[in-house]
Each structure stands twice: as C-alpha cells, then as structure tokens.
Amino acid sequence: MRLWLLPSILAWGLVITGYAAPKNWPQWRGPNGDGITQNESVPTNWGESKNLKWKLKLPGPGASSPIIWGNQLFLTCYSGYGVSKANGDLRSLMRHVVCVDTKTGKIQWQKDIKAQGNEDQYGGMGVPEHGYSTATPATDGKAVYVYLGKTGLIAFDLNGREIWRAATGIDSSRKRWGASASPVLYEGKVFLNDLLRGHQILALNKTNGKVAWKWSPSDIGGYQDSYATPTLVRSGDRNDLVLAVSREIWAFDPEKGGINWYAYTDVGGSNVSPSVIADNGALYAFGGYPRQSGVALKIGGKGDISESHKLWTATRSPYVPSPLYYENHLYWMDRSGYAVCLNAKTGQEVFRERLTSRNRTPKFYASPVFVNGKVISISRNAGAFIIEAKPKFKQLAQNEFAGDRSVFNASPAVANNRLYLRSDTHLYCIGE
C-alpha cells in the first residue's frame, strides 16, 4: 500500500441528527444512498397526458438530481457559458440553486451564484456529457448543502439564506472533465470526495463549514479518476465512509478521518463512477473503463483486507450508474441498452437482456431506484424503463415525454408516492 498522509484534525462542534423520515429524499439516491424506497408507490406508466401532476421549466440544464424535504424540492442548474454548446466567455457561467414547492410545482426561491475560479472549459468528451451542475445537494431539514465545483461548498437555510461558504479544491483533473461527487451528511459533518479538485477527502462541520478533518493520499495518480460519491456502511459497532477509486477501495473513520481498512481491486482503469453499495454483510464496487469489472467484499476488518474479505469478482459493470441491491440481487441498466442482474452472493450473471425501445438504443447515466417491486431507470435519450425487481427479466414499461428531447442525466427522487425526474430543460412530478 502507498504511504498514507496523516489526516488533519481540527476542533468541531458535533451536531447529532437522526435518520431522515420516510417522506423525505434528503440526498443523492435517497435516505440511505442506495436508491431503495419503503412504503412508496408510483405509476408504472406516465407521459405528457398521463399521471403527470406538474412540470416546471428550469432556469438551465444540469445533471444533479432533485432532493426533497417536506414540501420543498432542491436542485441545481447552470446558465451562460456551455449552454449553447458553442464557444463563449467562461466568465458568464452562472449556477442556480432552486427550491420548488412539491405541491404546486412553483419555484419558492432561487439563488444565482457566479462561478468562481477557472472552471474546466466546455469541449471534448467530459464537460459536454454532464455540464456544470452535476453534484446533487444534501439536506438535514435545517440547511441544504450544495457543491459547485471550484466555487466551493455552500450551505443555505431552507428559506434560501446563505449560512456559510467553504473553499474546496480548485485544481483540474488531468482529463478536465469537471467534478461530479455529491456531498454526504453524517453526525454533524458534510463529507466530500474532493480528489478531482483538491486531491483530498474532506469533512466539514455542518454548522459553520470549518474543516473537521481532511485526508490525502501520498500519490494522487489514478485517484483523480474517482467520480464517485462516498457511501456510509455499517460495520459491526462502527460506521465506515467507503469510497471506490481506481484499483482500490478505502474505508474512512467518519469521526476522525484516517483509514479503517483498504483493499486492492481490479476495478479501475480510466475512471470509477459508481458508488459502493452495501447490504447483507457485503459491499459491492463497480467501475472502470475501457475494461469494466466489479468486486464484492465482506464488510468490516482492519488494514489490508484485499484477499481476506474478497467474496467474488465480476466482469460486468454499469460504467456510470450505481447498481441497485434488492433481495440478494444487483440490478442496473447500462449504456448499451441492456438490463443486467447479478446474483449478489456469487457474482454470477442472472440475466443480461436488451431493453425493448420504441426508437433508439437507451443509454444510462442515471442510477436506478426501487419502488414497490419495480426497478425504475431513466435513460439519457429514450425515456424511462421499468422492469420487475426479480431474477427473471420482465420489462414493464417504457415512458417518454414526447415534447422533451433534451438529455436526462439525473437520477430519480421518490417521496410521498411521487416520482420526480429532471431533464436539461424541465422538472417533472409523476403520481396517480
């Protein structure tokens, strides 16, 4: 293992918060960051004239997913530079933090934030794929925390008043693809995978934005290729903050920083985008390009657990989306238009079936959600696809908004029997 740098630990005031109530969707992929809903039901079929409660034209595009607390929905957009996909003035780039009333679909408040620092230019393979608003906000019901790349991490109260603003990394990765990892909240801290910008994992005090701890690898190397959002994993009597990077997995002590355990893997290559998924005593990591792979590890341990905790390896990966775990199976839909299911105990492929699409081959960046026995995944270009959450493949629906030909990169949000989808142009609320 490479030589680890010691974490920088500063004093903080600890604020304990409980788990979010089921009616809330407080962060990327929901209350537990796994895309699983409890006691929710949404329609299987929808469209412009069916089961659409409301839609809202957004102030700009973005790949960030909506989050929900009570009757408030939060997301981010951008405008100015990069929207027209033509050369322009980078200084015109503006981010927007938007709060929407979930009952009416009307904007309650909007904060416009001028981009700071030298953001990566629009062009090539990276930024045009997702734009300049990629990280999903997070909320604890008291504040909403928004990561805006080189502009930093900003906390607003639920009325839109800025509470604090913290500097994050301002470097560019070697690919200059921008940043994508979303903030994660736990016991008084905001955690951020800032490897792409600041070559660090960052923990900030939720109350004032001051650094609680930060940790950096001694050799950033391929770690710049981790676009994943960290995952909190219960390990015996402790919680680990787990992140997959190129060819390694790290588990941090969320209270003080530092490594609890690490593992070398074959999951890597030029990028790792999916977040780690954990359930039933095991965790699962996927990623890599061009060669994609996955690994399962037994949860827990200390130090190097590369071989002692390895359960299986796989040659399949969702590439960008994070998988869904349900009843000992892993589900995802990939950029080639296939629905995939693996046996979570063995890593063996249960099915890989091409999705039936009315027009074009669907390509997926958004991560799936589980709702009432169904896996719902939103393609970038061909609508939403729904399959049964069972080890025998059955496609239930393909739903599109015929009038919206913009890109859908964001993962869905679910709350109060409503499904929320965002494209580069609109926000949709779906329900019966």
How confident is the model over 304-333, as pLDDT tens digits? Answer: 999 999 999 999 899 999 999 999 999 999
Q: Is 356 a member of any domain? A: yes
Domain count along the chain: 1
Between vectors from CA 231 to CA 300 and to CA 58, what angle results, nearest 5°? 170
pLDDT-derived band of residue 175, with 50, 70 and 90 as boundaries? low
Q: Is 378 a member of any domain? A: yes
Q: What is the mean pLDDT of residues 336-356?
A: 97
Q: Is 3 a member of any domain? A: no
Residue 382 belongs to a domain with what CATH number?
2.130.10.10
Q: 140 near 17, Cβ under 8 Å? A: yes
Give me 374's structure tokens. Answer: 């169904």
Q: 264 near 313, Cβ under 8 Å? A: no
Q: 113 near 93, Cβ under 8 Å? A: no
How confident is the model over 266-289, as pLDDT tens digits? Answer: 997 778 999 999 999 999 999 877
SS3 content of the chain, % helix, strand, coil (to 5): 5, 40, 55
Q: Is 216 a member of any domain? A: yes
> Could you tell me which residue, 87 or 290, shows the higher pLDDT?
290
How many Å apart are CA 347 and CA 315, to the nearest integer?
9
Q: 156 near 120, Cβ under 8 Å? A: no
Q: Is 406 a member of any domain? A: yes
Q: What is the mean pLDDT of residues 55-73?
A: 98
Q: Is 1 a member of any domain? A: no
> Could you tell me which residue, 3 or 121, shows the higher pLDDT?
121
Q: Determine the pLDDT at residue 125.
A: 62
DSSP string, 391-403: SS--EEEEE--TT
Q: 19 near 13, Cβ under 8 Å? A: no
Q: Determine the pLDDT at residue 224.
A: 61
Q: Is 422 a member of any domain? A: yes
How confident is the model over 193-209, as pLDDT tens digits? Answer: 999 888 999 999 999 99
pLDDT-derived band of residue 8, with 50, 70 and 90 as boundaries? very low
199: which residues sit within 8 A by CB, 6+ positions away? 169, 171, 216, 217, 220, 223, 224
Predicted model pTM: 0.93
Q: Is 35 a member of any domain? A: yes
Give me 328's structure tokens. Answer: 């000992």
- Look up the domain containing 278 and give its range: 8-430
Judged against a pLDDT cut of 50, whether residue 18 lies above it is answered with no
